[in-house]
């Protein structure tokens, strides 16, 4: 089922739907440069889809994507990336939470 359809079905049952995806998957240190480029492109495509769905539904999209030159995951991977070199560390998840929390507070006020 398409995301837009799911959000439209939920619209009759709630005032808010919040969607959050990952940051730039291509920024994960586990990937070779070729893989990183491919996964960054996928991340950009998914991000564009979330923005498009947000534009005409009740969904609020929390954008975690940062350009590589601004991305703390790529700048300090030992701090923000887990031992598996793919997932965020506790500090990485804390940074994402800092971006999610104000959106939730705003919507739930």
pLDDT at residue 13, rounded to an integer = 96
Please answer whether residues 40 and 24 qualify as being in contact, where contact means their C-beta atoms are separated by less than 8 angstroms: yes
For residue 33, pLDDT beyond 70: yes
pLDDT at residue 100, rounded to an integer = 97
- Residue with the bigger pLDDT between 51 and 109: it is 51
Residues 6 or more apart in contact with residue 108 via CB below 8 angstroms: 16
pLDDT at residue 78, rounded to an integer = 95
What are residue 63's phi and psi, to 5 degrees? -85, 115
- At 60 the three-state DSSP class reads strand
For residue 9, pLDDT beyond 90: yes
Question: To 10 degrees, the CA torsion angle through 88, 77, 101, 8?
Answer: -60
List pLDDT tens digits, range 48-100.
Answer: 999 999 999 999 999 999 999 999 999 999 999 999 999 999 999 999 999 99
pLDDT band at 1 (very low <50, low <70, confident <90, very high): low
pLDDT at residue 69, rounded to an integer = 94
- Which has the closest alpha carbon to 86: 77, 94, 96, 95? 77
């Amino acid at each position: 089922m398409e995301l837009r359809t799911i959000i439209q079905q939920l619209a009759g049952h709630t005032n808010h739907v919040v969607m959050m995806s990952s940051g730039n998957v291509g920024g994960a240190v586990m990937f070779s440069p070729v893989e990183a480029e491919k996964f960054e492109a996928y991340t950009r495509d998914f991000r564009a889809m979330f923005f498009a769905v947000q534009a005409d539904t009740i969904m609020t999209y929390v954008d975690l994507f940062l350009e590589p030159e601004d991305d703390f995951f790529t700048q300090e991977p030992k701090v923000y990336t887990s031992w598996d070199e793919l997932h965020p560390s506790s500090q990485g998840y804390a940074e994402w939470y800092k971006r999610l929390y104000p959106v939730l507070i705003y919507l739930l006020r």
